[in-house]
Chain A
């Protein structure tokens, strides 16, 4: 065989190999990191379920520009070290074009250096302010900032002419971030934090703290934590006959909280994503359609209520879908398109990203909801 023929055959083979992807339409690979087990599993599990559900829906209806999405999910167990390893694996071995998650702020902060170095867009599902402040080129997030939730509560307290509050926060990442915000924002609303108590994530009785607060001059109590702690606080407040209004965080905005708190939940007010009260929203609300569809589909597939934690994953996948449909599917193109996303109506709120804002939400992303007769209702403002 002459060198020339050999060269022609070789070229032909090379072309054939290069042509395969175009014919078979390789799937778009998206990575996902969620704490499916471990302490933050109440976040990671609905997020994983939701992400899988949305991706299946997209694939069923023809995929992204004719290509299927392949979702590669790793469990980080709420552990920053595991998140770090899993992120490296997604980038080096799975060669994903974008990553959604992780579920917690600690894990997200741990993987940001890798993400920035690998130049892969990340849409975090965690709430910490520091994830997107200062803005990092490749990092976005969908969960509402704690700061917005606190602002929402303080606004209402100001309207009710309440100026002295007691705060009772859980001593984990979520609680201490909330505590920081509660203390630092108070002065903007002329509110004084006169009692500052904490409890442990596994504590089963908070009567001591509530007794102390009962002895103070506080006009309202704000409790910041995730299930089951706040339900115990609600029961203790009722037991001790504390009559001041009780506010809580978006960390317990789910049906589960009402189930755990029982009668003691009555009258508790908290900021929440709209998903909890989708049915009460006026028809003019731009998010209503997506919210009701999400709740319905989630219920159908997983037999439980979809909550706003799962919503963070819904938003992340849909934001990616939008970005890829508008542009190309290379990491750089996805990032650029993400940054230009405007008025995207998701589960968590209406997102407007820009070069200065990679969180994209305003405090309108939260509504205040109240427990009335064992149901969440929308507080009219």
Chain B
């Protein structure tokens, strides 16, 4: 096997994993932008997406499409309940206490999932076959194409949403200055709720589309959530291209690191990058420097 073939395979594997991280990172960015909260329960919505789909598929014997739609619906509903019960009642809480609440919520959701579905790992059948596709001596699975496509669709849709719809613009206004936004008649509460809805929907979609590759269990959200968080940090918490590039970069570095240096350091590489970025450029590699509001 040629060395260059190996490199191509590492890059391709990195891109595939990176787009998963980007998708998950997206959910982090959306909530952060609307509320200033980092929602550490985001990984749990990824898990819910996968587990609910398998639940509807295997227990109710629904067709795949219906199961997916229901799974996204239920996850979004859980996102709404989460915001209404845990975030909204604490009107003047500091972002830090809200972040801790999201960690609590993630433990709760994980525990409930364990009680309901047990501790087993489950696999979702791939959407379009399991035969690998060849690309310049490297291989990937058809499911990776689904992931790339979903990531692309979500970037474009969010771009359109945030820049060309009244709701999107209102959400950006809240992110920029929630007090001023409420003065011009934007309901900040609604926007926060909306951001939780969107991010839990995206999270669960991500969980569904990756489940055929990664398999799913009640505790799969922890690691994927952290990797998604890294992607969002590298991308400067932008709900656009930044997070996507952050995710892809993380995926590629991980895969090259595992392949060329040592697989023992794979996760270490991701977290070292995260720490370096938090130290040197807390606004992210692609983020604009925030100007101090006086």
When distances are taken between beta carbons in the complex, the residues of chain B under 8 Å from A228 are 121, 215, 217
Chain A 215-241, CB within 8 Å of chain B: the 1/0 string? Answer: 100000000000110011001001111
CB A178 to nearest CB in B, in angstroms, measures 15
Evaluate contact between A227 and B214: CB separation under 8 angstroms: no
By beta carbon, the residue of chain B nearest A227 is: B121
Question: Which of these binds chain B: A105-113, A202-210, A354-362?
Answer: A202-210
Interface size on A, residues (CB 8 A): 35
* Complex CA distance for A318 and B258, rounded to whole angstroms: 46
Q: Nearest-CB distance from B58 to chain A (Å)?
A: 11
Q: List A contacts of B130 (CB < 8 A).
A: 235, 238, 262-264
Per-position binary interface string of chain B over residues 1-32, scored 1 when its CB falls under 8 Å from any chain A CB and 0 otherwise: 10100100110011011000000000000000
Neighbouring B residues of A262 by C-beta, 8 Å: 123, 130
Q: Which of A260-292 contact B (CB under 8 A)?
A: 260, 262-264
CA distance A208 to B259 in the complex (A): 5
The contact of A200 among B1, B224, B266, by CB within 8 Å, is B266
In the bound complex, residues from chain B placing their C-beta under 8 Å from that of A88 are none
Determine how close the nearest CB of chain A comes to the CB of B7; give it in whole angstroms.
9
Given the contacts A41-B119, A263-B130, A240 and B139 also touching, CB distance less than 8 Å: yes
Q: Are A205 and B17 in contact (CB under 8 A)?
A: yes
Contacts of B141 in A (CB 8 A): 239
CB of B263 within 8 A of CB of A239, answer: no
Q: Using known A-B contacts A205-B16, A208-B266, A215-B6, determine if residue A241 contacts B121 with beta carbons closer than 8 Å.
A: no
- B-facing mask of A155-194, CB < 8 A → 1, else 0? 0000000000000000100000000000000000000000
A260: which B residues are within 8 A, CB to CB? 121-123, 215
In the complex, which of the residues B1, B210, B255, B267 contacts A214, with contact meaning CB atoms closer than 8 Å? B1
Given contacts A45-B119, A202-B220, A205-B17, contact A232 B215 (CB under 8 A): yes
**B290 at the A/B interface (Cβ < 8 Å)?**
no
Interchain CA distance A197-B141 in the complex, whole Å: 23
Residue of chain A at shortest CB distance from B13 = A207
SS class of chain B's interface: helix, strand, loop or mixed? helix
Tell me, yes or no, whether A49 is within 8 Å of chain B by CB.
no
The 8 Å CB contact of A209, one of B17, B140, B210, B263, is: B263
Question: B197-247: which have CB < 8 Å to A?
Answer: 210, 213-215, 217, 219-220, 222-224
- The main secondary structure of chain A at its interface with chain B is helix
What's the minimum C-beta distance from B129 to chain A, rounded to whole angstroms? 10
Interface presence of A212 (CB below 8 A): yes
Select which of B123, B224, B263 is within 8 A of A208 by beta carbon: B263
Docked-complex contact B214 and A205, CB < 8 angstroms = yes
Check B104 for interface membership: any CB of A closer than 8 A.
no
Measured between beta carbons, the chain A residues less than 8 angstroms from B222 are: 202
Instruction: Tell me whether B132 is interfacial, beta carbon within 8 Å.
Output: yes
Residues of B within 8 A of A207 (CB): 9, 13, 16, 255
Alpha-carbon distance A239/B13, docked complex (angstroms):
11
User: B264: CB under 8 A from chain A?
Assistant: yes
Nearest-neighbor residue (CB-CB) of B1 within chain A? A215
Q: Which residues of B contact A211 (CB under 8 A)?
A: 6, 9-10, 13, 259
Give 1 or 0 for each of B111-148: 1 = CB within 8 Å of chain A CB: 00010000111110000001010000001110000000
**Chain A neighbourhood of B13, CB < 8 A:** 205, 207-208, 211
The answer to whether the Cβ of A34 comes within 8 Å of any Cβ in the partner chain is no
From A203, A235, A264, contact of B266 by CB (8 A): A203
Q: Which residue of B lies closest to A209 (CB)?
A: B263
Residues from chain A with Cβ under 8 Å of B6 in the complex = 211-212, 214-215
A337 CB–B CB distance under 8 Å: no
B99 to chain A, nearest CB (A): 22
Residues from chain B with Cβ under 8 Å of A209 in the complex: 258-259, 263
Q: Quick one: closest A residue to B265, CB to CB?
A: A198
Interface residue? A376 (CB, 8 A): no
Residues in chain B near residue A203, CB distance under 8 A: 223, 266-267
CB-based nearest A residue for B258? A208
Contact among A42, A198, A212 for B264, CB-based, below 8 A: A198
A239→B143 CA distance, assembly (Å): 11
Cα distance A228–B122 in the bound complex, in angstroms: 9
Q: Is A116 positioned at the interface, with any CB of B under 8 Å from its CB? A: no
Residues of A within 8 A of B219 (CB): 202
Assembly CA distance A200 to B9 (angstroms): 20
User: Complex formed: what's the CA distance from A200 to B255 in Å?
Assistant: 13
Closest to B264 in A: A198
B9 touches A240 (CB 8 A): yes
CB distance from A42 to the nearest CB of B (A): 7
Point out the residues of chain A lying under 8 angstroms from B132, CB to CB.
238-241
- B38 to chain A minimum Cβ distance, whole angstroms, is 21
The residue in chain A whose Cβ has the minimal distance to the Cβ of B2 is A215
Taking a contact as CB atoms closer than 8 A, the residue among B16, B123, B256, B267 that contacts A259 in the complex is B123
Residue ranges of A at the interface with B (Cβ–Cβ < 8 Å): 37, 41-42, 45, 171, 197-200, 202-205, 207-209, 211-212, 214-215, 227-228, 231-232, 235, 238-241, 256, 259-260, 262-264
The 8 closest A-B CB pairs, nearest first, are A204-B214, A208-B258, A207-B13, A228-B121, A202-B223, A208-B255, A211-B9, A208-B259
**A37-B119, A211-B10, A212-B258 known, 14 other contacts, Cβ within 8 Å:** A41-B119, A42-B119, A171-B264, A199-B263, A204-B17, A204-B224, A205-B17, A208-B259, A208-B263, A209-B258, A232-B215, A238-B130, A262-B123, A262-B130
